[in-house]
Structure 1
Amino acid sequence: MAASKATLKGDRTSTPQKKLNVRAIDPDSKVFFCSDGNEHYLGACFVSDALTGASSSTVDKLQSALSMNFAAGTYIQIAMLESPDVGEYIDAYLNSKPALNPILKALSRQHANLINGGVDNPLVQRSGVMLNRQRVIVTVKFPCRTDSPDDADIAATKESADRVTEALKAASLNLFQLDAVGYLVLMRILTKLWDAPRSHYDEDQLIKDQVYYPGDSINYDDPSTINFNDGAHYAKALSVKHFPQKTSLAIMNHMIGDPNGLSNQITDPYYMVLTIHYPDQVVKKDEVKQTSSIINHQVFGPTAHLIPILSYKKKGIDTLVHEIDGKGAIIVEVNFTIFLFSRDKQRLNKLSAGLQAYYTSLAFELREDRRILEALWNNLLPLNTSNEGVKNLYRFHTMAVRHACQFLPILGEWTGSGMGGAMLLLTRRGQPALVDLYESSTNYSGIIFAEAGAGKSFFTQKIAADYLAAGAKLWVIDAGRSYLKLCKMVGGEFIEFKPESDVCLNPFTHVEDLHEEMDILKATIAKMAAPEDTLNDYQLSRVEQAITSTWEKFGNAANITAVADWFINQSDDEECRRLGRQLFPFAGGQYTKWFDGENNLDMSNAFICMELSDLKGRPALQQVVLLQLISRINHDMYKAQLGERGRKKILIVDEAWEMLDDPMMAKAMVAAYRKARKEDGAVLVVTQAIGDVYASKNTEAIAANSAWQFILQQKSESIDSAIDSKQFKIEPYGAHMLKTVHTMPGKYSEIMVKRSETDWGIVRLVVDEFHNVTFSSKGAARNEILDDLDRGVDAVEAVNNYMARQSSAA
C-alpha cells in the first residue's frame, strides 16, 4: 500500500495523534482535560455492558438523563463498540478448569480453542459473524472557559458527569468510569482492533500522544475507505441521512443485526456512535421556529405541488415545534454514524452494501461517507468531538431529546450469568456467553427442556464435562445409558440397577438428622405402600409416626421390615395394619433384598452414573429406587459440604419425568431441591415438552423451585400450552423469540437460558469434532470407543484414533 501524500512530503502534522485532543487527567476525579488549542473541554468517559432489553420506563429514564440543563456546547456521546478482544471470556472458562483428567482437560482446551478461533473464522457459517464482544461507551464533555482549569472547574465537571451517569444507571446502564489507563486501553482497542490491548501509561506524556504507537499510520487516500497501518485493517463509515419517521428504542436491537442471528448480520467489528450536541437553547429554538415559518410559507405557496418533499419537511418541523411549545423540549443536534472494520477490503465492501440495504428495511437511510473520513473518524472518537467538527461535517440533525433517545446504541446481547466461567457458549450475534448455575441469588437448580433430536443428551453431557473439569462432584440418574460412554472415559462409576443387582438401598443407614430426612422418608414409605394411589393426610401422619418410632428403637439399623411390623402391631388401628400388609413387596416380598441390610452403595467417585432402565418393567420399584438415590445423594451433598466446603455438587436426573409426575414423587423432589440448596448443591431435571411440565400440578411445583430453565427446540403448541398455564411466565417478545430457538444437527444447538420473565437470553452450543465424537451416544462413535476403552486404550487416544479412521475412510 502506497504511503499517504502527506507522509511522502515529510509532513509530520499528518501523524494520527495530532488529531486527538485528550491531553491530561485529574487522577482523583478521573476528569479529562481536552483541547485542540482553540477549544477547551473537561469530560469523563464510562463503559458498560449493553442492555439486554428495555421498556417504556427505560426510555423515560434515558430521556430524563439527557434532558438536564447543560451548558451550550456540551457533548454527550453514546456508542456501541463490537471488537474481537474476547480473551477475558476464554481465560475465565479455562481458569475455572483445573482438572488433570486427560479427557476433561482435552475437552476444555479443544472447546476454548474452537471458540477463540471464531475471531478469525465464523463459528456459524450461515451467519458469517466473527467472534466479538460488545461494550457501551458513554462520554460527556463540557466546555471549559480556559486552557488551565482550576479545582472548581474540575469539581463542577465531576458533579455534572455524576448527575448524568447516575441518571443513566437508573436506566440499568452499569457504567464504570475510566481512568487514564482504561481510556488508553479503550482507544488502543478502537485503533488496533486485532492486537492485544496494552495498558501502559506514562504520566509525563500527553494522553493523546500515547494512543498510537511509533510507526502507526492511518491513510485516507481512498475517498471511501480508511487504511490502518498499511493494510492491517480497513474501515468504512455510514452516516444517517434520514431517520425513521416513527420508531422506538427497540429498533436498536435490530441495528446491531437481526435478532434471529442468521441473515442480515454485522459480521465484522463495528463502532456505532450517536453524538449529541447541546446548542444554546434560545438561539436554536428561534432557528427552528424561523425554519418552521419558511416551510409553512412554502407549503401554502403556488409551487408547493411541484416540491413533494415539502410535506415531509412540514411534518417533521411541526413535530419539533410541538415538542418546543407543548412540552418545553430540550433541542439537540444529533449525528449517527457506524464505522465498519475488516481485515479484508472486499469483505468490507460487501458488508457495507448489504448493511445499507438491511437498514433501509428498518426505515433508516444510511449513506457511505466519502472524502471526509479523516474529519469524521477523528471527531467521533471518544472525547474527541469539537464545535469545529459539528460545523464542518454537515452530519448533524436537529431533534428533541425525546426523539434522540430512540436511537441510543445501548441494546445488545445477553452474555451469560457473569464471569464464573463454568460453561462457554455463543450468542446468536457472535459474543461469548459464560453461564454458571452457581451465579444465582435464589437457588442453583434447574430444568432442561428439549424435544427429541434437539440435542438434549449432548448439551447435558457438555454440562457434566464442564463441571467435572471444574472439580465438581456429579451424580447422574438416567434411564437410557446416555452417559455410559462419558462415565467410562472420565473414570467414573457406572452403577446399573437390575433385578439381580446385589445393591441395598436401606433408607435408614445414612440418616443423621431424622427431621431433615423426614420428607423423603415419608414419600418413600408412602410410595412403597401405595404405588398406584395417594395416601390421605391421616395415613401420612401414621407413616411419620411409624418412621419416628422405628428410628427411636433401631436407629441406623432400622429397615422397611421394621416399619411394616410397627404398622401391623397397631392392633387398634385397622388402617395401620392395612398399610403394613401393603408394604409386603418391600418387607418380606420380592423387593425386600433391596432395602433389608446396610446401605452398600459406594458413591465415593467424583462422577457417579446410576442407570435405571432395567427397572422400567417394575415402575413401583423404579420410583422407590429413584427416591432412595435422591435421598442418598442429598446426604452425600451434606457430607461433602462439611468436608469440602466450596466444592460444587450437582445431581442430574434424566429420562425420569414420567416417574416424577406423581404427588408424592413431586413433594420428595421439591424437598430434595430445598436440601440441595441448603448444602450448596444443584439439581438438574431433564425432560422433553415444556407444555407437559406446566400441564401437571405435580411437576409444576418442581419447575417453580428451579432458578434456571434451559429450553432447547420446542414445538410452538407446547410453548403456547406452557404460557396458557399462567405458570410459565415470559414477556411477549421472549415468547416470540423462544419459538425461533432451533437446532441445526451437526452444526449447533440453540438454548434459551431463562431465569425470570425478563431475564433470558438465547445462546448456541457450538462444538468441534472431538466433542461430537466424545458425546455421541449411538452408532460407531459410541461402540468403537467403548471397545477401545475396554481394551485399556486411553480416552483421548481412543477419540483421536476414531477421528483418524473416519478421516482416512472419507
Structure 2
Amino acid sequence: MTLPASVLSPVIAYALDERVFVGHDQTIGFGFHCLPRPGAGDRSEQHVRTLLEDEFPPGTMMQILLYASPNLVEARKRAMTHFCADAGNAPAAMMRGAVSWLYDHAGGPFDEFAGVWLRDFRVAISLKTPMDGATPTDAEIDRARQTARRMERALNALDVAPQPMTAKSWITTCSELLNRGEHASWRRFGEVHVDEETPLNRQLLDLGSRLRFESGAVDLEGGGHLAFLSPRSFGESAWFGMSSALVGDLMQGRRGLRGPFFVNVNIHYPSAESMKSRLGKKRAWTVNLVGTQFRRWMPALEGRYRDFETISRAMEDGRRPVRFSVTLGVYGRDRDELDRAVTDAIGYWGEYNTILLRDRYICRPLLINSLPLGADRRCDADLGRYHTMTTQEVACFAPLFGAWRGTGSPSLHLAARDGQVMSFDLFDGSTNFNGVIAAESGAGKSFLMQLMTTSYLAQGAMVWTIDNGGSYANLCETLGGEYIDFGERPMSLNPFRLVRDYARENALLQRLVASMAAPTQPLDDLQNATLEECMKAVWAEYGLDMTVDLIAKRLKSSKDSRDVDLGRRLYAFTSEGQYGHYFAGDNTISFSASYTVLELGGLKNQPHLQAVVLQQLVYQIQQAMAELSRQRRTLMFIDEAWELLREGEIAKFIESGYRRFRKEWGAMVIATQSLGDLYGSDVGLAIAENSATKILLGQRADVIERLVTKGQLLLDPGHIEQLKTVRSVRDAFSEAFFQTDRGTGIGRIVVDPAMRLLFSSHAPDVSAIRRHRAAGLTLDQAVDAVLAERARTAMAAE
C-alpha cells in the first residue's frame, strides 16, 4: 500500500518569527536539533529531569529522536576544504584522497572487523501541545515560546548545543529518515529546499519517491527497507545513561546497532491528577491481589507490585507520572540485510534484559509517530506501545547521549567506536598546542605521527620531525621534504650564530652548554650561576662570534678550581675535541623546505653527542618558528628519542621549549612507548603538564593501574577502563585515546590502503616496498605494485 506524503505528518506550517509549528491535528509545537552529549553523569541526570519535569499542560507530547544520520555532506565538505586546494601540494592530495576513501565507504561498513557504518548522530527534540481551535491564539503562541525558552535553557545546561528547529531543518531531518536512495535531495547539498507555498507535510518525500507499507517493513522504494521494533518489557533495573548502552558498547566497540537506525521516545503528559488517581486505584487493586491466593496463579503480580511501589515512591519525591513509548527503527539495503539488522537488535537489547518484538502490522502509525512533531496522544491508547513510568525512570531511556565528537577542526578525520564522525586538531587547544603520544611498540605511534605530519603539511604548515630510527624516510620522499641524516655527512650546528635576542634566549643557550658539560647529572646552582656569568661575559665581548672554545677558555682561566673543572668538561665540544666540528664555524643547517626530517640514528653510538644535537635542533627550530611570526602553523615531532630526554640538563631544556612553543603559535609533540616513561621522570611530568593534548594508544593494563594507584593518571573510572581496551587491528584501524581540554574519547584511525601501506612499519610491508624499489620503481610505484600483488593474491585465494 502506497500513501501520499501528507499523511505522514500533521505538520502544515511554520511561523518564522515565533519559531513555532502548527499542525492540522490542532497542535502547536517547536523543536531543537542537538548533538548527543558524550557521557552521562550526576549533573546531566538532574538537567534531563529538569527537561522532562516542566509544567507542561495536559495532552502535551514530547519526542526525543536519536538518529544515526547518513547525511555526511557537510562533514565531508569541511574535511575536504580544510586542506590546500593547490593541485601540486602532495600532502593535500594524499589527505583529500584519504577523506574521499573514508566517505565513499559511508554507504556500508567501513571495516570488516567492527561492521560499523560511518554516520553522524543527531538528536531532534520536539514538543507540541493542544490548541483550542484550528489556528493558534496569541496566548497559545506566547505559552509555546515561553516553554521553548525554558527547554532551551535546560538543553544548554545539558551541553547538547541546541539549535531551534526550522521548516528547512525539520524537512531535512524527515527527508533523511524517509528518502534513502542514491539520489535523495539531501545528498546533494546537505539540506532540502522548502517551498513556502506548499504545506510542509506535502514536502517530505522527493519527487518520484514513494513508500510502500508491507508486513513487517516499509519499502523505501529505491532506498532500501525500514523495520520497527518495540519493547515488550524492560529489565527490572535501569540506570541513567542506559540509552547510550542500548545504542552501542563504547567500552569495547564490538557490539551495538552497527548500521542505520533511529530510536524515538514519545512522552505523553496526561493530567497529573488523573494519572495519580488512576495509578492509586491500580496500586490498591494490585496490593489486594498480592495478599490473596491469586498470587499463586499470577506470578507477575510480584513484579507489578514492585513497579507500583517504585512509581509511588518516585511520585512522593515529586516525580511526575507520564506515559512513554520507545520505538526502534532499523534500515537495510535489502530484505536480507534488514532481517539481520532486526535479529541483531533483538539480541543486543536482550543483553540488557529488554525484550524487543518486531512490529508487523502497525508500521504506518509507528512511522508517523516517529517523525519529529508527529506523536499523536491518541496512539497512547490505540497502539498499545505505551508504558506508565515517572520522569525519573523515563530519564534512563532518553536517547540523549553518544560518543565524543572530537575537538571540532578536521585536521584528523576519525571515527568513534559507534561510527560517529570525529575530528581532531592540536590547535583547537585553549591553553597550548603541545601534545604527547604514548604507545606500545606496534600500536601505531609512528603511523599516527606520519598521518598528523601529512595533515598539517596539507594545511600549509611547516613541520620538522626528529627521529632516531629511520621511520620517516619514505614519507619524506613522498612529500618532497628534506632528509638530513647526521650519520652521513659533516655539518655544523653552531647555535651562537642564530641568536637574535641574547637576553631572551640565554636560558636555553645556557642549558645547551650545560648539557655538553654534564650529560647525566644536572649542574648544581653554583655551577649554573658560574656558567651564566661566563657566557654573558663572552657574549658581551664576542657576540655572534661566541664559541664553545671561548667559554671553555674563560672558565679555565679562573682561579677557582671548580670553574676550571667545568671548563675542562666542555673539552669534547671544543675545536680540539671529538665533537667540536659540529659546533664550530657557520651553522650549515637551514630549514627551507616545508617538511624536514632530522635523522639522529647515525649518532646512536655517541649518546652524549646525540642528546646535545637534539637540544640544538629544538633550539634552532624554535628560532625558525619565531622568524615566521605566526604567519603559518609550525610543528615539531620528536619520535624514538625518549632515552635522550630522561637525564641531565635536557629535562629542563625540553620543559622550557614546551613552554615557549605556544608563544610562537607552534606545537611540540613528543612520542614515547610507555605511559610509565611519561609519568616516571621529571622531564616526562614536565611534558605532561605542558601538553594540552595526550594521545594514548595501546598500553598494558598493569602500567595503567600503577599510574592510577600513584595518582598520576587523572581520569575518571570509566575512561580508565576505556583506556585499557584501546587496540589496533591490522589492515583495519588503530585506536587512540584522546585526552584534551575539549573532551576525552576514543577515535579509530582509518585510512585508504595506499596510505596505510606507506606509513606502515610492519616488517612484511617494509620489505615488500624495498623489493620493488630495488627493481627500479619509484616509491609511489612500489606502493601501487605491492597493493596490486596483494589484490591478486586475495582474488586467487577466493
Q: Cα deviations across residues 362-402 of structure 1 (Å, max 9, x unaligned)?
A: 02122211211111110221011122222311111111111
Query: 2:521 aligns to what SS in structure 1?
Result: coil
**Structure 1 residue 735 and structure 2 residue 735: aligned?**
no
Change (3 A) 1:682 1:343: same
Q: Cα deviations across residues 543-586 of structure 1 (Å, max 9, x unaligned)?
A: 22222222222222212112222322333x33222211211111
One of 591, 613, 616 as aligned partner of 1:603? 591
Amino acid at match of 1:124: D
**Structure 1 residue 356 and structure 2 residue 340: aligned?**
no
Aligned equivalents of 1:90, 1:668: Cα separation in 2: 41
Aligned equivalents of 1:83, 1:349: Cα separation in 2: 20
Preserved CA contact (<8 Å) 1:485 1:786 = no
Offset of 1:641 from its aligned partner?
2.4
Query: 1:232 aligns to what SS in structure 2?
Result: coil
Matched ranges for 1:49-198 at <5 A = 49-98=35-84, 99-101=86-88, 103-194=90-181, 195-197=184-186, 198=191
Amino acid at match of 1:400: T
Aligned equivalents of 2:440, 2:377: Cα separation in 1: 59
Preserved CA contact (<8 Å) 1:126 1:262 = no
Change (3 A) 1:196 1:797: farther
Matched ranges for 1:735-774 at <5 A = 735-755=720-740, 759-774=743-758
Matched ranges for 1:293-312 at <5 A = 293-312=284-303
Q: Cα deviations across residues 229-277 of structure 1 (Å, max 9, x unaligned)?
A: 2x53111111122223222123222111222455433122111011111
Query: 2:67 aligns to what SS in structure 1?
Result: strand
Q: Which sits farther off after the overlay, 772-781 or 456-465?
A: 772-781
One of 684, 694, 706 as aligned partner of 1:709? 694
Preserved CA contact (<8 Å) 1:130 1:430 = yes
One of 654, 669, 673 as aligned partner of 1:684? 669
Amino acid at match of 1:417: T
Which residue of the partner structure matches residue 18 of structure 2?
29
**Structure 1 residue 483 and structure 2 residue 468: aligned?**
no
Preserved CA contact (<8 Å) 2:629 2:664 = yes
Which residue of the partner structure matches residue 11 of structure 1?
none
Preserved CA contact (<8 Å) 1:47 1:177 = yes
Matched ranges for 1:771-790 at <5 A = 771-777=755-761, 782=766
Q: TM-score, normalised by structure 1?
A: 0.93
Which residue of the partner structure matches residue 685 of structure 2?
700
Offset of 1:785 from its aligned partner?
5.3
Aligned equivalents of 1:127, 1:772: Cα separation in 2: 18
**Structure 1 residue 503 and structure 2 residue 491: aligned?**
yes
Which residue of the partner structure matches residue 395 of structure 1?
385
Q: Which sits farther off after the overlay, 605-614 or 349-358?
A: 349-358
Aligned equivalents of 1:806, 1:348: Cα separation in 2: 33
Amino acid at match of 1:743: S
Change (3 A) 1:60 1:780: closer
Which residue of the partner structure matches residue 19 of structure 1?
8
Preserved CA contact (<8 Å) 1:485 1:777 = no
Query: 1:45 aligns to what SS in structure 2?
Result: strand
Preserved CA contact (<8 Å) 1:46 1:175 = yes
Aligned equivalents of 1:243, 1:806: Cα separation in 2: 49
Change (3 A) 1:501 1:364: same
Amino acid at match of 1:337: T
Aligned residues: 786
Give the gaps of 5 or more residues in structure 1: 8-13
Amino acid at match of 2:396: Q
Aligned equivalents of 1:263, 1:666: Cα separation in 2: 41
Preserved CA contact (<8 Å) 2:229 2:359 = yes
Which residue of the partner structure matches residue 279 of structure 1?
270
Change (3 A) 1:289 1:661: same
Q: Cα deviations across residues 131-173 of structure 1 (Å, max 9, x unaligned)?
A: 2110011112122222222344322211111101211221222
Change (3 A) 1:464 1:228: same
Query: 2:18 aligns to what SS in structure 1?
Result: coil
Aligned equivalents of 1:674, 1:516: Cα separation in 2: 13
Offset of 1:469 from its aligned partner?
1.6
Amino acid at match of 1:760: T
Which residue of the partner structure matches residue 226 of structure 1?
218
Q: Which sits farther off after the overlay, 190-199 or 508-517?
A: 190-199
One of 638, 645, 648 as aligned partner of 1:653? 638
Q: Which sits farther off after the overlay, 364-373 or 500-509?
A: 500-509
Which residue of the partner structure matches residue 437 of structure 1?
426
Preserved CA contact (<8 Å) 2:486 2:602 = yes
Preserved CA contact (<8 Å) 2:257 2:345 = yes
**Structure 1 residue 243 and structure 2 residue 234: aligned?**
yes
Which residue of the partner structure matches residue 313 of structure 1?
304
Change (3 A) 1:159 1:475: same
Aligned equivalents of 2:200, 2:659: Cα separation in 1: 55
Q: Cα deviations across residues 340-368 of structure 1 (Å, max 9, x unaligned)?
A: 11112111112112211221110212221
Q: Cα deviations across residues 617-662 of structure 1 (Å, max 9, x unaligned)?
A: 11111111000000000111111125xx2x2211000001111112
Query: 2:649 aligns to what SS in structure 1?
Result: helix
Query: 1:506 aligns to what SS in structure 2?
Result: coil
Preserved CA contact (<8 Å) 1:454 1:743 = yes
Q: TM-score, normalised by structure 2?
A: 0.95
Change (3 A) 1:149 1:58: same
Preserved CA contact (<8 Å) 2:604 2:610 = yes
Preserved CA contact (<8 Å) 2:65 2:123 = yes
Aligned equivalents of 2:418, 2:370: Cα separation in 1: 25
Offset of 1:53 from its aligned partner?
0.7
Aligned equivalents of 1:550, 1:743: Cα separation in 2: 54
Preserved CA contact (<8 Å) 1:85 1:193 = no
RMSD: 2.1
Change (3 A) 1:790 1:463: farther
Q: Which sits farther off after the overlay, 14-23 or 336-345?
A: 14-23
Q: Cα deviations across residues 438-479 of structure 1 (Å, max 9, x unaligned)?
A: 111111111111111112222211111122122111100000
Deviating above 6 A after TM superposition, structure 1's stretches of 4 or more consecutive aligned residues are 786-793
Amino acid at match of 1:761: G
Amino acid at match of 2:196: E
Matched ranges for 1:592-631 at <5 A = 592-631=580-619
Amino acid at match of 1:175: P
Change (3 A) 1:412 1:74: same
Q: Cα deviations across residues 169-207 of structure 1 (Å, max 9, x unaligned)?
A: 212221111221111111111111353514211222211
Q: Which sits farther off after the overlay, 169-178 or 544-553?
A: 544-553
Which residue of the partner structure matches residue 204 of structure 2?
211
Which residue of the partner structure matches residue 570 of structure 2?
583
Which residue of the partner structure matches residue 456 of structure 2?
467
**Structure 1 residue 374 and structure 2 residue 361: aligned?**
no
Query: 1:668 aligns to what SS in structure 2?
Result: helix
Preserved CA contact (<8 Å) 2:5 2:202 = no
Q: Which sits farther off after the overlay, 800-809 or 712-721?
A: 800-809
Preserved CA contact (<8 Å) 2:113 2:732 = no
**Structure 1 residue 409 and structure 2 residue 402: aligned?**
no
Query: 1:119 aligns to what SS in structure 2?
Result: coil
Amino acid at match of 2:207: P
**Structure 1 residue 333 and structure 2 residue 318: aligned?**
no
The percentage of aligned residue pairs carrying the same residue is: 29
Q: Cα deviations across residues 705-730 of structure 1 (Å, max 9, x unaligned)?
A: 11111111111112112222312211
Offset of 1:302 from its aligned partner?
2.5
Preserved CA contact (<8 Å) 1:694 1:725 = no
Offset of 1:752 from its aligned partner?
0.9
